[in-house]
Structure 1
């Protein structure tokens, strides 16, 4: 898949924003007054900013509202509705915390909405039969774990951040180990795609056309193995390897900023690989798989 900057920004920032809002919802931390304004402001800025970035990937952003009507069959529609509901309830909850009004049950509802929103985002990709690498339990598990880990880091929750970042590193390695073999294991070939395998060996006599097209631009992206290995190492070091020892040693204002920036940069790198390595089966028709 083409690693579009808008989608990478969307999945990274919205995950961080809803992750931070999750921890605020369960009272970790439990700020009031101007401190609450800063925490909730950051959570909403990341969440709304990420969702807004996703609109730039649409061919007709002015029609985005129509996607909300397909909630019965579309995970994209469910994600939009879940995000809107969570942010609206979250806004009310944020107001109660700024004013110092107890509203714990409302906060729990916000946290539940955050988990639901991130899960629906992950399911947009998990449900795609055409991308075997994504169609696995590790996809929603990673989306949720990264969201909670990043949120814990932003919320200065030391022990949850340590556990969740380590869990994310393990999940990422598991996702790569199985994902690298999943396309071959699906036994999807040009023969199965055309249904002609029963009459002999199938191969393309001529390319479908001589120039590029939308399918090649959006669904067929090839990245070299050497670059993949380099980016995986860089992503792991930035997202987990650097923040973990900083958190374990105890965060100051400067080291906290370094840990957050490194984690965000690492997640952006890992998310780029998530899309760049997605082997869409349409590539079979163009000899790219």
Structure 2
């Protein structure tokens, strides 16, 4: 599978707003998406009362928490939690630069997947900018292990995800899903997979201040009898592993650039994804920065290595 070469950066064509509730805080929140200049990347700014207005970058170096979700910024100050579905939608739709204003501490959960964001981005429109897009190409294996869980990057001519999960409950069991990544594949095969949880864990999560906004409208819930209790059932037969892949896509989007390589994980999660990405980005011999270059003035293109500035987002 060859690399899907997108030569230039993109941004949104127009501003728009979405509103919903945070899955953990249970609080109403509005989020405003604005077109941004080249090399801005994805940036957040809290605009609610009491926030400092500090710009929070959607980068691995700014990850502040990985408990049940991925959070950016200072957990004791300005921060934005549960960014993974939104980040997955942005990278899945090929959007590089957006300035996001949010009036609360958590991205709204919407329907528990990335589909609402995907549809909104498509409706707002995406425009190409004049600056070249850069990629992180994996050139040697990098792995992170924790107990029976692991995640790794491998060199690959393209962008590929291979995710496997293993749960004791027969409602899930052992599932795997693998795909070469593209905008079309993301929208059709991954974006609609919803977050999931167990009814037996609800009281414990509530007591810890989590899942206060969770409901059957935004989560797949497994009951005490090990059955899915949502009346509409599953969107995919293997929706659970596809959602884990959705999370991985969003977590790895915090590299600050798309990667060329294969990401594999077994019994992974936000913490495992973040640790594997950090291992990759802190080993400068494990990757190189490349961009598309035309071959002899023709229509074809190839990836060539470029010198990355010291302030580049992939430098941790």
Relative to the length of structure 2, the TM-score reads 0.28
More helix, by proportion: 1
TM-score, normalisation: structure 1: 0.30
